[in-house]
Amino acid sequence: MTNAEIAAAFEQVADLLEFQGSNPFRVRAYRNAARTIEDLPEPVAKIVADPQRSLTDFEGIGKDLAEKVTTLVGTGSLPMLQELLAEIPESVLAILRVPGLGPKRAAVLYRELGIASLDELREACQSEKVRALKGFGAKTEAAILQGLDIASEAQRRILWAQADEQVQAILDHLRPCPAIEQLQPAGSYRRGKDTVGDLDLLAVAKDAKRAMDHFAAYPGVADVLLRGETKMSIRLGTGLQVDLRVVPAESFGAALQYFTGSQAHNIVLRSLAKSRGLKVNEYGVFRGTKAIAGRTEEDVYGALDLPCFPPELREARREFDWAQAGALPRLVELGDIRGDLHAHSTWTDGVATIEEMAAAAKQRGLKYLAITDHSKRVAMVNGLDAKRVRRQWAEIDKLNARLKGITVLKGIEVDILEQGGLDLDDDVLAEADWVVASVHYGQNQPREQITRRVVEALQNPHVSAIAHPTGRMLRQRRPYEIDLEAVFKTARDYGKLLELNAHPVRLDLDDVACAAAKNHGVLVVISTDSHRVDGLGAMRFGIQQARRGGLTKEDVANTRTWTQLKKIVGKR
């Protein structure tokens, strides 16, 4: 099982235990273990298989949990989870996902009213049975009905790129308000997580009421869920909840740090503060009752002799260790990128010509662009056979003869065939400047088979990189089964690169895998996989994901000039 699958199993155990009213510390133990496993930069299975290593060396994993992990790795299932699922109707699990409910309240509904499905929950709310329960009431009942509507209208989480559109529109609406003096987004959005559940905004305002009135007037507001003196929550027409908090100027940095999170990062920060006789919260840093910092994030971290961590790193993974060693990495930035190495044209499924793509890339300041149209296996988009790809490359040669300021590379996105091998012969691939190999078919094959296909592609002397290595598509398709450890090892041994596909639906490799690639000494190439000129703008999404993985300019291949890069991939 993958780390993500093991983590998901532990999260489900935690939900079911909480539903049953188990000891809160036991529930928390499973949640903490799930998070630890999900964030590991190497496969748990590798640790389990190594007699010199123990899972109990990792924070939050004791002997009992380590044994359960070993069981999951060895058998693919967990008897305890199966027992819990046998005790609770499967339909109850859907209730846990209704906004405003959780395992505890769902358990009350199940015990008191026998509610075991979303339809039963809706009927109970509409017949006003829920409001009669202790701790619920009419408002809670209405909120549950609203949550059911939201759940049917929208997915639980949205892509970061979609959240960004909402954030920028709201900020554009709020900034002209004369009452607002400072304004910043926070939460998982600011940390750059690939999906976002809700939005948090922080403001300093001369007049909080006026600021909230302005917020309520945003055209996208569907409902005002809550309004107090310093906090207001709205629901957008898209179903997304947005919270605005107005804080004093002297606490703005502390609030921004606190509400940016992550929770795990903040727990470590509070522990460090406590060890120094200090207290950190959303109001500031305190020695006793005296505030010693809080106006800026730099002040908050500085009071603990820490650097101001980039938001993308605030996940309690390695940032505190780096800070202690004085080795906090300078993360890669958009301005470091010299070229884009995955783009399509009208020769297959792109909507812009090669020359149009090159002009757009040059306008963005890039010095090279690889045109990597599909090979013939992708017949639905008129993939290129040997004859057509050579004609395209001849056209690129002619184009380069008259282009100035940018070089178009002769590339191909060659399919890794279901039975193994590549979709074009080696004599063709040898003529390319850049070859990116990818899996498009046979994604449901067993782990060993898909891994073998990708490993063999990396061993091909003409392949430069593997595109979107796990095939995931956020909110649409899970990653296919692949042994990334074996992929990293082969890429390192053969001097090959792995792509971080910057398309906001892919972001593949994910942040944890990027960190693992770095640990293996494998360079990552951030590419947009653009099919139109504006698709080139997706590079910033890939940069953000790379930063979450702790990647620096040196860890990203296409921060180099083409002259430097082609030496790495062995192209003359």
- Confidence at residue 155, expressed as pLDDT on a 0 to 100 scale: 47
Half-sphere exposure of 210 (CA within 13 A, CB side): 11
Backbone torsions φ then ψ of 415, nearest 5 degrees:
-75, 140
> Tokens standing for 505?
């639906």
Rg of the chain taking only CA atoms, in angstroms: 26
Q: Extract the runs of DSSP E, i.e. beta strands, from 449-564.
A: 465-466, 497-501, 524-527
Backbone torsions φ then ψ of 112, nearest 5 degrees:
-85, -35
List the domains of the chain with CATH numbers.
Answer: 3-153 (1.10.150.110), 158-246 (3.30.460.10), 250-324 (3.30.210.10), 334-568 (3.20.20.140)
- Position 113, amino acid: L
Please check whether residue 383 is in contact with residue 344, taking contact to mean a CB–CB distance below 8 angstroms: no
Note the pLDDT tens digit of each residue in 148-191: 765 554 446 788 998 998 999 999 999 999 999 999 999 999 99
Note the pLDDT tens digit of each residue in 450-503: 999 999 999 999 999 999 999 998 877 789 999 999 999 999 999 999 999 999
- Confidence at residue 134, expressed as pLDDT on a 0 to 100 scale: 87
How many whole angstroms from its chain centre is CA 394? 39
- Confidence at residue 161, expressed as pLDDT on a 0 to 100 scale: 92
- Confidence at residue 350, expressed as pLDDT on a 0 to 100 scale: 93
Query: How many other C-beta atoms are found inside a 10 Å radius of the C-beta of residue 394?
Result: 11
- Confidence at residue 151, expressed as pLDDT on a 0 to 100 scale: 52
Please check whether residue 130 is in contact with residue 113, taking contact to mean a CB–CB distance below 8 angstroms: yes
Q: Could you tell me the CA-to-CA distances from 290 to 271, 293, 340 in Å, in that order?
A: 19, 9, 52
- Between 151-165, 326-340, 388-402, 541-555, the lowest mean confidence (pLDDT) is in 151-165
> Tell me, what DSSP letter sits at residue 553?
G
- Confidence at residue 141, expressed as pLDDT on a 0 to 100 scale: 87
Please state, in angstroms and rounded to a whole number, the distance separating the CA atoms of residues 205 and 180: 4
* Average pLDDT of span 102-117: 86
What's the start-to-end Cα distance of the chain, in Å? 41
Please state, in angstroms and rounded to a whole number, the distance separating the CA atoms of residues 407 and 433: 11
* Average pLDDT of span 189-203: 96
> Tokens standing for 531?
């099919």
* Average pLDDT of span 110-133: 89
Q: In the predicted model, is pLDDT for residue 568 greater than 70?
A: yes
* Average pLDDT of span 383-401: 98
Alpha helices (H) along 62-136: 63-75, 79-87, 92-95, 103-113, 118-126
Beta bridge partners of 280: 285
The string over 421-459, giving b where at least 16 C-beta atoms fall within 10 Å of a residue's C-beta and e elsewhere, is: ebbbeeebbeebbbbbbbbbebbebeeeebbbbbbbbbe
Please state, in angstroms and rounded to a whole number, the distance separating the CA atoms of residues 361 and 492: 30
Q: In the predicted model, is pLDDT for residue 372 greater than 60?
A: yes
- Confidence at residue 389, expressed as pLDDT on a 0 to 100 scale: 98
Q: Could you tell me the CA-to-CA distances from 398 to 373, 384, 389, 391, 432 in Å, in that order?
A: 18, 19, 14, 11, 15
Note the pLDDT tens digit of each residue in 52-108: 999 999 888 999 999 999 999 888 889 999 899 888 876 777 777 776 677 888 888
Please state, in angstroms and rounded to a whole number, the distance separating the CA atoms of residues 228 and 212: 9
Backbone torsions φ then ψ of 358, nearest 5 degrees:
-65, -40
> 138 by DSSP, 3-state: which?
helix
Note the pLDDT tens digit of each residue in 206-237: 999 999 999 999 988 989 999 999 999 999 87
- Position 489, amino acid: K
Please check whether residue 3 is in contact with residue 43, taking contact to mean a CB–CB distance below 8 angstroms: yes
- Confidence at residue 87, expressed as pLDDT on a 0 to 100 scale: 86
Please state, in angstroms and rounded to a whole number, the distance separating the CA atoms of residues 283 and 300: 10
How many whole angstroms from its chain centre is CA 207? 36
Residues belonging to the chain = 572
What band does 572 get if pLDDT is binned at 50, 70 and 90?
very low
> Tokens standing for 240?
């997304």
- Confidence at residue 156, expressed as pLDDT on a 0 to 100 scale: 64
Q: What share of the chain is helix, strand, coil (3-state, %, to 5)?
A: 50, 15, 35
Q: In the predicted model, is pLDDT for residue 120 greater than 70?
A: yes
Q: In the predicted model, is pLDDT for residue 130 greater than 80?
A: yes
How many whole angstroms from its chain centre is CA 126? 37
